[in-house]
Structure 1
Amino acid sequence: MTQKADSSSKVKDYMLFLTLWLLLFALSITALCLGRYGIPISDVLDVLSSKLLGKPSNVNQTIENIILNLRLPRIIASIVIGGSLALAGAAYQGIFRNPLVSPDILGVSSGAGLGAALAILFHLGTFGLQISSLAGGILAVMITSAIPKFMKNSSTIILVLGGIIVNGMMVSLLGLAKYMMDTENKLAEITYWLLGSLAKISKGDIWTISIPMVISMLLLLAIRWRVNILALGESEAKNLGVHTEFYRGLVIVLSTVLTACAVCVSGTIGWIGLIVPHLGRMLIGPDNKRLFPLSIILGGGFLLMMDTLSRIVSPAELPISILTGLVGAPFYFWILHKQRMNMT
């Protein structure tokens, strides 16, 4: 009976993952068609097939340029960044054993945003912005993690409160950096950038962020079973022979790299790292071996949907964080209500 139940569970998981991949593919094709300049799906499929098969396309050069150089990079970036933020949120929640933890609450996003703002302020260029974002995110999470040790209280409440303290400090420093900026150019640039947008994404940006993101994703997926053990608690994990400090530090660094790389090209995009892991647990349970890959798919699809909406809901493109907040807040309330109903 147990073997049959395990086999049935695996079949359900495979069907769920297959369905989500097909939905993500369909959503990607839809996103290529939608925008200020509508493109028929036949033209989209013609251009994509011509590139994959190496045959000439029957579509004019303008439409081909829109598909390959404008919309396709945004779609790829949306999936990679959304998946990275969702995976980082699931990893943080797993090792800290707290479903309220996310890159936003721990101060990683605001720290990375501060680093990026300083790079813009001092004209450090694209590479300098990426390095500065990474440094800011790592610094923020290091301070947050150090607060419970300083207080000699390792409870999750102290961790969350520490994250609130660090986030507030980073936001204040970010406000100071904005105050020092040139009001004609830099202030407007950083203000819009902090609201989150993929409007200026390029193929070069994708290559730059994809390498560290993919490496971090693969490493997190490789050690996801150890996150299950860390979630049992410090003493239980040590009794099972897991080097808790090493793996906790590794997960924090990898998750911070994912968040900082996302922030350095898209700005700060909230809610994904918080709500997507919750949705994943509702679909597949708390096992991180299955939750981590599921979070990547769900996060990528969610951000792709939000980015597509940002391009079509108004004549002027909306910042993504506005939409993720408007959708994420009531959606998170619904998740909490659903979980409460299941527990009663």
Structure 2
Amino acid sequence: MKNRRLINTIIFLTPFVLVLVTLFNGRYPVPLKDIPSILLYPLLKNELVNDTYATIIWDIRMPRALLSALAGASLAVSGAAFQGLFHNPLVNSGMLGVSSGSGFGAALAILLFSRSSFLVYLFALVFGGIAVTLSYTIGKIYNTTPTIMLVLGGTVVSSIFSSLISLVKYMADPYNQLPAITFWLMGSFASANAQDILIGAPPMIIGLTGLIMMRWRINVLSMGDREAHTLGISSNMNKLAAIVFATLSTAGAVCVSGNIGWVGLIIPHVGRMIVGNDNNRLIPVSCALGASFLIAIDNISRTLTAGEIPIGILTSLVGGPFFIYLLKKTKGGSW
């Protein structure tokens, strides 16, 4: 029991520690003796604090750290929820097409309004919701939502939006718009700012809160529609609620960071290795692990080389080998 409490304490404290590390880690060094005064700068407006240090910490690194933590938590919790909902360990947060839909929305906004970052975020958020709505509509047959039909609907919609992304890239200006679209699709927090938090944080927080509050219902839904009905749980309504919350959190993450793969697949499995399959414990742990993972990856991406490596590349390099291990462990089947 003591070991379990210690492990949980470490897991939930790690994101906060990594945020502090992020604030003072980078190519522009910040003296350790100035850390307390810089952290209190917005409250005290201490004139002795170097304005350059304050700008770097509060205008550049703080938004980046908060967004990477929120995005990692959102993708991981959505993946854990979908894996429980579909009772399949190989699904992720983009299973119902939200990532492809958001990618198309962002690419379309860059094509039409290349200088408006707000419209890029808005289009990504809206088209992510449209993609999931289409997937749910396809999966809803005979007034029910069979799991296999939801998965098939998501696969079809993802394929359609992936083709639309290719079409937009084909139509884009190869000197300005195409590089912007390609870089966005790779995923990055390089341009993170306070406006991004105002846009992306509300849907992510709403989605995370909803999934955490209904995590015990996801346990029931994972047993099947008949068992859920026997226990007095409306299968269709609760599936819809879980999908809506997962869509909000994933679309909010994608609209500010681009397409970052594998987080929603690998982090829930790391959580299961620690706390098991019970979503009452797994979803909060996945939230903390996802935040820690993406903060760490973001730190690596901006410090490993002279230029910044897109986060999607690094998460794929980690996720690919883990996926091979997962296939070997599950033999391509479910739990």
Question: Residue 197 of structure 2: SS of its match in structure 1?
Answer: helix
Give the corresponding residue for 1:195: 186
**Residues paired across the two proteins, number:** 330
1:170 aligned partner: 161
Matched, 1:212 2:203: yes
Unpaired stretches in structure 2, ≥5 consecutive residues: none
Distance 1:148 1:246, change over 3 A: closer
| Partner of residue 35 from structure 2, selected from 23, 44, 47 | 44
Q: State the superposition RMSD in angstroms.
A: 2.5
Structure 2 equivalent of residue 274 of structure 1: 265
Q: Kindly provide the CA deviation profile for residues 277-312 of structure 1, in whole angstroms up to 9, marking residues without a partner as x.
A: 111111111111111111111111111011100111
Report the Cα distance in structure 2 between the residues aligned to 1:222 and 1:46, rounded to whole angstroms: 37
- What TM-score results when the alignment is normalised by the length of structure 2? 0.89
The question of whether the paired residues in 1 share the 8 Å contact of 2:11 and 2:288 is answered with yes
- Give matches, 1:106-121, under 5 Å: 106-121=96-111
Is residue 106–residue 167 contact of structure 1 (8 Å, CA) maintained in 2?
A: yes
Give the alignment's TM-score, normalised by structure 1. Answer: 0.87
Paired with 1:238 and 1:158, the residues of 2 have a C-alpha distance of 19
Partner of 1:79: 69
What is the one-letter code of the residue matched to 1:296? C
* Residue aligning to 1:315: 306
Matched to 1:129, the amino acid is V
Check 1:156–1:253 CA distance in 2 against 1; reply closer, same or farther (3 A cut).
Answer: closer
In structure 2, how many angstroms separate the alpha carbons of the residues matched to 1:165 and 1:151?
19
Q: Deviations along 1:195-232, whole A, 9 cap, x unmatched?
A: 00101111111022212221221121111111111111
Question: 2:68 is paired with a residue of what secondary structure?
Answer: helix
| Misfit runs of 4+, over 6 Å | 151-155
Q: How far did residue 37 of structure 1 move?
A: 1.4
C-alpha distance in 2 between matches for 1:44 and 1:330: 38
CA spacing shift, 1:162–1:288, aligned 2, 3 Å: same
Question: Residue 35 of structure 1 aligns with which residue?
Answer: 26
- Separation in structure 2 between the aligned mates of residue 220 and residue 175 of structure 1, nearest angstrom: 33
- What's the counterpart of residue 234 of structure 1? 225
User: Do 1:221 and 1:292's aligned partners in 2 also have CA atoms closer than 8 Å?
Assistant: yes
Are 1:93 and 2:86 an aligned pair? Answer: no
| Maintained 8 Å contact 1:44/1:67 | no
Seen in structure 2, the aligned counterparts of structure 1 residues 234 and 151 have a Cα distance that, compared at 3 Å, is: closer
Specify the SS of the correspondent of 2:35. Answer: helix
**Distance change >3 Å, CA 215–CA 163, structure 1 → 2:** closer
Alignment match, 2:129: 138
CA distance in 2, matches of 1:327, 1:268: 15
Structure 2 counterpart of 1:23: 14
Matched, 1:324 2:311: no
* Identity level (%): 44
Aligned residue for 2:57, secondary structure, equals helix
The secondary structure found in structure 2 opposite 1:104 is coil
Alignment-derived partner of residue 5 in structure 1: none
Listed one character per residue, the Cα deviations across residues 110-129 of structure 1 (whole Å, up to 9, x for unaligned) are 11111121122222844443
